[in-house]
Structure 1
Amino acid sequence: MGGCSTRSSRRLRSLSLLGAAGLALTGCGAQQEPWFGGYVNTTSYPYFDFGTEAAGQSRTVLGFVVADPEDPCTPSWGGYYGLDEAQETLRMEQQIAGLREAGGDVVVSFGGAAGDELATACTDPDRLLAAYRTVLDRYDLRTVDFDIELDDLEDREANQRRAEVLVRLQEERDEPLEVWATLPVAPHGLDQDPVEVVAQLLAAEVDLAGVNLMTMNYSESKPAGQTMAAASEEAARSAHGQLTALWGAAGQDLSAEEVWHRIGLTPMIGVNDVPGEVLEPDAAAELGEFAREQGVGRLSHWSLNRDRPCTAEDGDPAEANDFCNGLEVEAGEFTRVLHQGFEG
């Protein structure tokens, strides 16, 4: 077995104290129980009452914190609301408190397809550190998600800056900070830019909890006739091999089981953004069973807002939107199907 990084080794002493909280130590860090947590598009209107609708999930992933368009080193929700404005308009703190009172927790996702991730816009590492810290402290976060897409994927300087600041964040905390990188994938696996993002995080010695694969919107990378479930399973297996090699190159020779535990899967439920790509509940159930069999560490979906059938006011159900999934299914059907067998 390869050794842990110096930073990870130092962290083991504090992690060992958490055994009574249900964490099992494995590899170079603490292995959480596999968890399910759907994403919420917090700024889509009409606003989604996630404090009530997501009660009962072990975790709920709130997206997205991005750079304020007028101040690149200031965090905002979607580029629309500062943290104080989000409290006033979205009742952010009350909703988070509601989930925690119901026994769950929240994960904040930075980045996404719209807006600039803070590390892309904020080039001052100290101010970037302060921006991330502000969000972590405000919402008392133990897990964060970095959804790196589109132009953010190609920005090597920003990706390096993010990695170095995340190490500083992890080192300054008294308790572990679980960091996930959410990246696009194809049936053939991760393309070069996502591979480079992971490599930079590991080279900087970020204690990376895992890589969450966006198993959706495959376009021409999916062979004609291949189902969405089959394409997603192939993507996961392909990425598993790549991630095994990446962790190995970083000095962590993980078992196949350990690598699966550091993989997450996030499908887009119902009608996807790519015409003709639709994830039906049966396919979601197949993907969920695959995730359980492989022992993936995380299962999510995009999104809780969309986990309902469309109405006439939502527009053409054949076109993806933020408010419904385009299928004639019961509200909450995808969450029920994917949640089975996961913590919470």
Structure 2
Amino acid sequence: MPVATDRPDTLRAREPGTPPRSLVVLASVALVAGTGTAIWLLPSGATGEWSARGDRAAAAPPSGTPRPAASGRRPAVDREAAVSRPSGFVTFVDAARDPRFDLPRAVRTDHVRWFTLGHLTAGQKGCVPTWGGLRDRDGAPVADRLGRLRAAGGKAGLAFGGPSGRELASACTDPERLAAAYRRAITAFGAAYIDFELHGPAATATVRRRARAITVLQREAAREGRSLAVSFTLPVTGAGLARHDQEMLRATRAAGAEISTVNLLAPVGAPAAGARLRPVASAVRAAHPQVARSLGRATAWDRIALTPVLAGHGRLTRLDARRLAAFTSRNRLAWLSTRGVALTPELTRLLTGALR
């Protein structure tokens, strides 16, 4: 029961160090107003799959995601923490179709920092990489600008494989020659990282050769005191990754290779569709537990990159770009890129600014 008191002054007294009630009220009002402003600044129309409610930062991990066991021990040091890999917005450059792309100019005018140059595939000589299977490795003027790109503050990686041509690991059946082919390309262009874009299943021998070559190159880099980030670009659907891609990731990791990122190629619907980006978000969420299991991790959001593919559906709108940037940031994905229809300089600057 309440205790009566005849000392009303105690109700007005403050403990030493306690702020006056008026200041507490003002602070509460400011907090509410600030929260309202932050919510207002979210991209308009960012609802459902694109709202914070549906993203990792505000929700439990998707079903099927293994949860780390509770432990009082200090977490192990992540061996990949020091690996230099792309971040923010990454511009893909098709060195075969657009050989004169001005990399340094893109750094200066569009503020892009990271680029991926592709695609290197096997030419007539199985163990010699060529641009798109057509141009010699040294026959693309865009690659000659890499020195000036680095001087301007940019970085570039190489993409092997791609939607056309024969993958190098499939054509070059000698593991040592395959590793040497990758090594020559990395050295010639001073690649900051390498990516393997795969479409469709590959023979077990091809997967093993590629994995062995990656492991050899990464161990060589470690002995030299540097790192070599390796990513895989894989198509994704509403069901996530194909089973053969999940098996390939597991086999590559089992061979000793370190996979820094899995980049998801997600098709974008027609502009007329009111929710054209929702399937993209759903595909990423479906792929997350699969990527986590394949990489042997409890969670893998920061190991997933997103590349929406615009094929015959027109350009992204400003609202689309803002939603993609917000989705990438809230889920803390590794990076964002695009393929297909080229972005306007305005949208490129919007994305690089939003994801800086």
TM-score (norm: length of structure 2): 0.71
65 and 243 in structure 1: CA distance in 2 versus 1, 3 angstrom threshold: same
1:62 maps to which of 109, 117, 130: 117
Distance in 1 (CA, whole Å) between partners of 2:282 and 2:77 is 26
Task: Mark the runs of 5 or more structure 1 residues left unpaired by the alignment.
Answer: 3-24, 308-330
Map 1:29-40; keep pairs closer than 5 Å.
29-30=80-81, 34-40=87-93
Partners of 2:102 and 2:142 within 8 A in 1: no
**Partner letter of residue 91 of structure 2?**
G
Report the secondary structure of 1:73's partner residue.
coil
The CA deviation at 1:281 is: 3.4
Equivalent in the alignment of 2:342: 306
Change (3 A) 1:260 1:125: same
Give the letter aligned to residue 176 of structure 2: D
Q: Is the 8 A contact 1:111 1:148 kept in 2?
A: yes
Larger radius of gyration: 2
For structure 2, the residue ranges without an aligned partner over 5 or more in a row are 1-67, 70-75
**What's the secondary structure of 2:126's corresponding residue?**
strand
C-alpha contact (below 8 Å) 1:260/1:295 kept by paired residues: yes
Equivalent residue number for residue 142 of structure 1: 192
Cα deviation digits, residues 73-93 of structure 1 (max 9, x gap): 00111112223333xxx1522
Contact 2:304 2:333 in 1 (8 A): yes
Say whether 1:117 aligns with 2:167: yes
Cα displacement (A) at 1:156: 2.9
SS at match of 2:166: coil
Q: Cα deviation per residue 1:272-313 (whole Å; 9 max; x = unaligned)?
A: 25xx6874332232121111001011111126x822xxxxxx
1:1-344 matches, cutoff 5 A: 27-30=78-81, 34-44=87-97, 47-55=100-108, 56-68=111-123, 70-86=124-140, 90-93=141-144, 95-150=145-200, 153-173=201-221, 174=224, 175-216=226-267, 227-248=275-296, 253-254=297-298, 256=299, 259-269=300-310, 272-273=311-312, 279-302=316-339, 306-307=342-343, 331-343=344-356
Paired residues of 1:217 and 1:277 also in contact (CA < 8 A)? no
**What displacement does 1:71 show?**
0.2
**TM-score, normalisation: structure 1:** 0.73
Partner of 2:135, secondary structure, is coil
For the residue of structure 1 that corresponds to 2:97, the secondary structure is coil
Task: Say whether the 8 Å CA contact 1:108–1:145 is kept in structure 2.
Answer: yes
CA contact (8 A) 1:40 1:302 kept: no
Identity of matched residues, %:
31
Distance 1:119 1:226 in 2: 41
Change (3 A) 1:184 1:162: same
Is the 1:34–1:261 Cα contact (8 Å) retained in structure 2?
A: no
Q: CA deviation at 1:139?
A: 1.0
Contact 1:66 1:110 in 2 (8 A): yes
CA distance in 1, matches of 2:350, 2:166: 33
Does the C-alpha gap of structure 1 residues 206 and 199 become closer, same or farther in structure 2, counting only changes over 3 Å?
same
Q: What amino acid sits opposite 1:60 in the alignment?
A: F
Aligned partners of 2:151, 2:206: CA distance in 1, in Å? 37
- Partner letter of residue 136 of structure 1? I
**Segments ≥4 residues shifted beyond 6 Å:** none
